[in-house]
Structure 1
Amino acid sequence: MASRIFSSLLFRIVVAIVLGILCGFFFPEWLARVFVTFNGLFSNFLGFFVPVLIFALITPAIAGLGRGAGKWLGVTAGIAYGSTIVSGALAWALASVVYPTLLAGHSLVTNVDDPDAGGLSAYFEVEMPAPFPVMAGLLLAFVVGLGMTAVKSNTMFHFFSEFEQVVMKAVTVFVIPLLPIFIFGTFLNLGMNDNLGSTLSAFGRVLILAVVMTMVLVLLQYIVAGAVAGRNPFVALKNMLPAYFTALGTSSSAATIPVTYESTLKNDVDENVAGFVVPLCATIHLSGSMMKITLYALAVVFMADLPISAGHILGFILLLGIMMVAAPGVPGGAIMAAVSLLQANLGFDDSMISLMIAAYILIDSFGTAANVTGDGAIALVVNRFAAGSIEGHELKKSKELDDAPAA
């Protein structure tokens, strides 16, 4: 048990933050510049790699959904996406109301790496241009994924499934292990540039707000689902608590599927509906993750006084709801999928991205818990409409088709 805790990404992120803060008090400038150099190189690599990641993961995901195409697949995917977007809209509305008070007096210096502004400079830089822009990768993924479905190309589907595995291997053995060093360098640089106190104070408040709001979000989902399904929302939510607390411990929607399934059955959801909705929503329903990322991103926008329009924020939320479908099945996957949008739509720099990653992973499990618990609410809604209009074997067939790409 202890070894699993020490080897977890969360533990390493916490250690990186603490060490970055402490080392900022005594590190010589020449040594700090080593980590500034690493951060610049790693950030450039992310700029190159993230569009490839999005294309590699979304393409087979779109093709897989197309292969399982059916009325209830479309209905469930639509509800899940709508729930995720509503979560982002709620976070946006809340931030607009409370941040002027909650974050009053806090600022975020965005040029900590600028020597002209008293920051630390890297020893050298290496440009790593992306093979294509993020939006081009997203559009190409949709075109290729839908095209594979239309022509029923098994060869291309197998190719992209293996390509996805290759890219995921790079994420798990290279990107994720280096994240703690990236975050260490960010907090070290913030400390040496006297910008740490205000940043930690402000983000601490946003962290607490995000945790509370993920819980409020789940409650709202069950109030709506209970009204639609004619069930007591509080009893239904109580039945889903095992799934919520399991997700808190695992930080993985996939690992929680068996518990989510059993908890959903306790709410009198048909077993075929539960067997179809729960695995599907574990991949496409990310309302809790959306809540956290949007709250964090808008906190950075507010503190850094970035000139971001309402159109930019709306576009960010709508696209994030799609990109997170392809989030890697690893802790922090959703924020990795969001990196390119944070840069392209909101104009975030390297330090802002690093802060977002650290803050997200610190309470990653609360977002995951909200995601999987919300899956039970979606199952209640689908069960309400599916029970009287389609037979169970049709749902089972759709589930088998949906699961096929992962085999």
Structure 2
Amino acid sequence: MRKIGLLPRILIALALGIVCGLFFPPALARVFVTFNGLFGNFLTFIIPLIIVALITPAISELGRGAGRWLGITAAIAYASTLFAGLLALVVGGAVFPLILDPTNAPGSLGNPEDALLAPYFTVEMAPVFGVMTALVLSFVVGLGMTFVPSATMQRGFVELRAIVEKVISGVILPLLPLYIFGIFLNMTVAGQVWSIIVTFVAVIALVFALTVVVLLVQFGIAGAVARRNPLRALATMLPAYATALGTSSSAATIPVTLRQAIKAGVNPPVASFVIPLCATIHLAGSTVKITAFSVAIMVLSGMPIDPLTMVGFVCMLGIAMVAAPGVPGGAIMTAAGLLSSMLGFNEAQVGLMIATYIAIDSFGTATNVTGDGAIALIVDRLSKGRIGEQPPVIGEPETVGA
């Protein structure tokens, strides 16, 4: 199974969960529900550590090479990510209440106590600190290390990041398909899975349409700033989009993205600086997916959608995911903490977010890397080619789709 990619494993687990739910006796199904309870509690425990371990060294690494153009590029990338999330929030908030029927949603999606099956036992795994505490701690320590350089602390957080990456790659991701299996097994036993599948087909279609709109806006602005034909520039970047669809990896796509950005007219020194940096910090496509799916689940669950809370969620999401692409599944795993702490998602809702996010992972990655070309065009115009041949240290690029 290790030779099979994560997406195929998730899809296999999802399908098996539905099929097995049709004939599994409740006593056997509760075994997997019990595993889900344990695994969900472990996620609650580890997510704050993931945030601290990934974000803290990433901020300090950005600061080490920080300069005027790094700051400008990071600001443009964050603005693009923020726009994408707010667009998904506005459109989802307007459209989803019209096309989604909360009465068809599984009861367990809105309230875990309404689930047909309950675990045999649970083990509490209280986190060391909360998600918001982890975020604030990451910002304070990460920024502090840029002003007060400390090789010892930097090395310590880099080693902590390596440990957490091992936990994600060696424990969380291998067990994630079993977790998804248990979620859909429980939903099928409850007789509620088919309505969710039909519902999320419409949500996925809207998310894909939103990613297209985001790219058109990005290249429209880039074309106006750089004085180039935006559609031609976007067409030039399509090989990077296609490569990301196949690899679900920004890192694997960097050579293609770099080549196409240069073909679009970006000076090579500027492209060699902007493209690897944006592979780490520009996550417009990922933000569209997470924001849209979170709004859809809130509508299905009958949860109130507070505009100010959702705007704050999008702003925090854009910051928290800066370092998330450094590990497989990092974006959604980092977002899971915000989903629980800021939006009040329960285990079933977070699990459904993970499953749907990974199911269309490559489309978000393709949007991310294609938009990197638009940012490169803008920075090239603003810098007028003055960015040097040697780019600063900018941290590790994305290793999987976010």
How far, CA to CA, are the matches of 2:296 and 2:122 in structure 1? Answer: 29
Matched, 1:178 2:175: yes
Task: After TM superposition, give the deviation of residue 99 of structure 1 in Å.
Answer: 1.2
Determine the C-alpha separation between the residues in 2 that align with 1:116 and 1:400: 52
The code of the aligned residue for 2:345 comes to F
Please state if 1:82 is matched with 2:79: yes
Gaps of 5+ in 1: none
Instruction: Please point out which of 133, 151, 156 is paired with 1:154.
Output: 151
Other-structure match for 2:125: 128
Tell whether 2:7 aligns with 1:10: yes
- Within 5 Å, give how 1:53-132 maps onto structure 2: 53-104=50-101, 107-111=104-108, 117=114, 119-132=116-129
Q: Could you tell me how far apart the structure 2 residues matched to 1:401 and 1:364 are?
A: 28
**1:188–1:261: structure 2 CA closer, same or farther, 3 Å change rule?**
same
Paired amino acid for 2:44: G
Task: Write out the 4+ residue segments of structure 1 that deviate beyond 6 Å after TM superposition.
Answer: 112-116
Verify: 1:392 aligned to 2:356, yes or no.
Answer: no
Structure 2 counterparts to residues 8-407 of structure 1, below 5 A:
8-104=5-101, 107-111=104-108, 117=114, 119-387=116-384, 391-393=386-388, 396-397=389-390, 399-403=391-395
Matched letter for residue 13 of structure 1: I
Structure 1 residue 402, shift from structure 2 partner: 2.2
TM-score computed with the length of structure 1 as normaliser: 0.94
Is the partner of 1:255 in helix, strand or coil? helix
What's the C-alpha RMSD, in Å, of the aligned pairs? 1.9
User: Does the 8 Å CA contact 2:17/2:181 hold for their aligned counterparts?
Assistant: yes
Asked whether the 8 Å contact 1:229–1:384 carries over to 2, the reply is yes
Shift of 1:147: 1.3
Instruction: Say if 1:72 and 1:116 are closer, same or farther in 2 by CA, change over 3 A.
Output: closer
1:111 counterpart SS class: helix
| Cα 1:142–1:303 shift into 2, 3 Å | same
Q: 1:133-158, CA deviations, whole angstroms, 9 ceiling, x for partnerless residues?
A: 11111111111111111111112111
Q: How many residues align?
A: 398
Mark the CA change 1:232 to 1:118 in structure 2 (over 3 Å): closer, same or farther: closer
CA contact (8 A) 1:247 1:256 kept: yes
CA contact (8 A) 2:52 2:135 kept: yes
Mean CA deviation greater in 137-146 or 324-333: 324-333
Bigger shift: 101-110 or 18-27?
101-110
Q: Do the aligned partners of 1:107 and 1:304 also contact (CA within 8 Å) in 2?
A: no
Query: Offset of 1:116 from its aligned partner?
Result: 6.4
What percent of counterpart residues are identical? 53
Q: 1:404 to 1:238 in 2, by over 3 A?
A: closer
CA-CA distance at 1:238 after TM superposition: 1.1
Letter in 1 for 2:323: A
Report deviation, 1:337: 1.0
**Alignment partner of 1:126: what SS?**
coil
1:77/1:284 contact within 8 Å kept: yes
Q: Which residue type is aligned with residue 177 of structure 1?
A: P
Map Cα deviations across residues 53-77 of structure 1 (whole Å, 9 max, x no partner).
0000000011011111111111000
Alpha-carbon shift at residue 80 of structure 1 (Å): 0.4
Deviation at 1:206, TM superposition (A): 0.5
Deviation string 1:261-291 (CA, Å, 9 cap, x unpaired) is 0000001111111011000000000000000
The answer as to whether partners of 1:326 and 1:337 remain within 8 angstroms in 2 is: no
Alpha-carbon distance in structure 2 between the residues aligned to 1:270 and 1:38:
53
Contact 1:273 1:392 in 2 (8 A): yes
Distance (Å, rounded) in 1 between the aligned partners of 2:305 and 2:348: 18
Which one-letter code corresponds to 2:97 in the other structure? P
Amino acid at match of 1:320: L
Distance in 2 (CA, whole Å) between partners of 1:273 and 1:112 is 47
Q: Give the SS at the match of 1:166.
A: helix
SS of the residue aligned with 1:302?
Answer: helix
Question: How much does 1:105 deviate?
Answer: 5.9
* 8 Å contact from structure 2 (residues 276, 397) kept in 1: no
1:2-25 superposed Cα distances (whole Å, 9 cap, x missing partner): x98x61000001101110111111
**Retained in 2: the 8 A contact 1:242–1:263?**
yes
- The SS at the match of 1:75 is helix
How far 1:292 moved relative to its partner?
0.7
CA contact (8 A) 1:110 1:352 kept: no
Name the CA shift for 1:381/1:113 in 2 (closer, same or farther; >3 Å): closer
Tell me which amino acid in the other structure corresponds to 1:138: L
Distance 2:224 2:85 in 1: 22
